[in-house]
Structure 1
Amino acid sequence: MRQDAEVDALVRARMRGLRIAKGWSLDELAGRCHLSPSTLSRIETGHRRIGLDQLTAIARALGASLDQLVETEDDAVVIKPHHHPERGITTWLLSGEEGGTGLTVARIRLTRPASRRPEDQKVHPGRDWFTVLSGTVELRLGEREIVIETGEAASFSTMVPHVFGARGGPAEVIAVLTPDGERFHSES
């Protein structure tokens, strides 16, 4: 029962927070979800149970999904690195699919140069984008060799054979990866 009460309180707080963030009064939200302001007030304050039909209408009016309103909070505050010493890569996944875009944002530390072996260049559906936070990154796209310095960014189709690594010492990037790219870069 305690967990149900915690989820209930979380949903109510999220509803109220989204309403306030949009600058809406109870009357404005009520008009958008076809409920009375007094019903909304009682729902937000916990004096009325939330029916699924009401929750659906409120979520739609707030521009949120039901999942976003009811998902429990993740206790993970600290993002642990995933070390791949054999590849010279350490990855911190900063976001995943919870944003609903299917994109993943990752911080990646590279300590090895890009492989020069053609068989190490991979192809997979999607698109990669990264910006170099520190150091220099060498990107090999098929036969092309591209050098990306600190403060510069690269964007490319991952259907082109590719591999990237550090050049002249460690480098760090922030990368935005499509679902196939995230799977490839974090598991291979």
Structure 2
Amino acid sequence: MSTVLSNNKEETGVRKTLLGASSASATATSNSLRNDKLSRLNSARTSNAPSASSDTGVNHAESYFLRREHRLSARRKAEEEAAINDYKKMYEKALATNQRLKSRLETSKQELTVIQDQLQRAQKGRPGACGSNMLETEKKESWALKKRISDIEEQLKVKADLKMENQRLKDENGALIRVITKLSK
């Protein structure tokens, strides 16, 4: 039985070798045909007057390869343009997103300053807060200053009255001195 298995293994190995050789020879044959066509194309291109029998075959092959090359280059160009357009669209999308985020950031900053101002005003107006104590002392100082100003204004009025009284007394004194001088003469 071992000989039968070994024979089967050898047969499959031979078959694989034959298949590999046949596929290799088929590949070599297709490569040689392709090279043969290319060499004919190159020779047709290099010579100005190709032979009449191979002229039609070469022209068909040449036009086939030229069309194929043209299609491939057009496809590559379209793919490159699509890739460029994709990058451009991605760039424009990122730019729009950045602008939107910048505007949101600015509005958030403005809202933050408004809220901070409101918070400071609320802390000043709240009794028991440090700011309200200062506000009360400022009110007391303001009241004391207003009272002092009113006292000084009253004193100024009294002083003005005293000046007028003093001037009146000086005038009377001068009149009395004149009367006494006339009487003494």
Q: TM-score range by the shorter chain?
A: under 0.3
TM-score (norm. length: structure 2) = 0.19
TM-score by length of 1: 0.18
Structure whose alpha-carbon radius of gyration is higher: 2
